Amino acid sequence: MSRLSFESAAVIGTGMMGPGIAMTLALGGLRATILGRTIASATEGLAKARRQLAVLSDNELITPLQASQAGERIGASAEFESNVAAADIVIESAPENMEFKQDLFARIDSIAEPSTVLTSNTSGLSITAVASRCRHPERVLTTHFWNPPHLMPLVEIIRGEKTDPGIPTRIAALLKHCGKVPVLVKRDTPGQLGNRLQGALIREAIHIVQEGIADAEDVDLAAKCGFGIRLPVYGIFEHQDIVGLDMVLSISDYVSKDLCNKPEAPRLLKEKVARGELGAKTGRGFYDWSRKDADAVRARRDRFVLAVLKGAY
């Protein structure tokens, strides 16, 4: 094997995340096979991965040669057992259903070689619980790639209660080699790291709208044109230290008592879901999506992320 001890990967999932994960590993030099329920779905996943490589090449984040070589290292298959048995690392990116993932990991664990590392792309489920039916939970952990995975640098690595302590550092080294920015999460907690931060922001944002403090559009503008625009280069704790912790304490004492701290989903969110206002997929959520184009919003997001990435290199 290579100096990172990984040469081949099986990526389970052909939807939003799997192709981008496979593409990332292929850029790092691994042979990556996208596994689907059918060869048709796996082949479509392969096509997505190659389109994503073209996006990176067209934006000069990788060279055309790198894109071509990575494309040749990605395959597609519906042959589950043989590909899992041949992989040095298996990454699951399947629906967020605990029972399904537990059954799937028990099956993977029974097929994979003893040295194979098994990871889940779950965005919040407990990896300890996911691995609870495995005979070898010590080789199971989370690698949560942020969406879209071909663009977002962040990957959260979460160890379960029984994960071998040495495996997360090996995976972190692999992901750095593949061009990602891994962070190690020391405890298997709901929401991991990034989604806990995001969850606190979402809760307060909905509370602000619910209480009539500001409209959803202005909340979004405050985030996008205020603290959000500086976060890529100016972290939360960097900001606290620079403004001074004495000032932070004073503001925190004053503001914290008025922030939403209810241990449940906000009332406004529950009401919208009950009315069937589920967002872009139903035409209305916090916005009227008959007047907004979800594809255009995603395209704008991707253009901005690409511009940030191009400026960083």
Structure-token pair, residue 131: 């691995």
pLDDT of 4: 61
Structure-token pair, residue 280: 């872009």
Q: Report the relative pairing of strands 154-159 and 181-185 from DSSP bridges.
A: parallel
pLDDT of 311: 84
pLDDT of 66: 96
- C-alpha distance from residue 210 to each of 220, 225, 226 (Å): 14, 22, 21
Enumerate residues 6+ apart whose C-beta is below 8 A from 221: none
Q: Report the relative pairing of strands 117-120 and 140-145 from DSSP bridges.
A: parallel
pLDDT of 291: 94
The CATH number given to 194-264 is 1.10.1040.10
pLDDT of 3: 42
- The position carrying tokens 């620079």 is 242
Domain boundaries, the chain: 8-185, 194-264, 276-313
pLDDT of 134: 97
pLDDT by residue, tens only, the chain of 313 residues: 344 689 999 999 999 899 999 999 999 999 999 999 999 999 999 999 999 999 999 999 999 999 999 999 999 999 999 999 999 999 999 999 999 999 999 999 999 999 999 999 999 899 999 999 999 999 999 999 999 999 999 999 999 999 999 999 999 999 999 999 999 999 999 999 999 999 999 999 999 999 999 999 999 999 999 999 999 999 999 999 999 999 999 999 999 999 999 999 999 999 999 999 999 999 999 999 999 999 999 999 999 999 999 887 5
DSSP string computed for 201-237:
HHHHHHHHHHTTSS-HHHHHHHHHHTHHHHTTTS-HH
- C-alpha distance from residue 171 to each of 38, 50, 98, 174 (Å): 29, 24, 23, 5
Fold that domain 8-185 belongs to in CATH: Rossmann fold (3.40.50)
Tell me which amino acid residue 21 is. I
- C-alpha distance from residue 116 to each of 34, 185, 239 (Å): 17, 21, 41
DSSP string computed for 46-103:
HHHHHHHHHHHHHTTSS-HHHHHHHHHHEEEE--HHHHHHH-SEEEE---S-HHHHHH
pLDDT of 1: 38
Q: Which residues pair with 158 in a beta bridge?
A: 142, 185
pLDDT of 124: 87
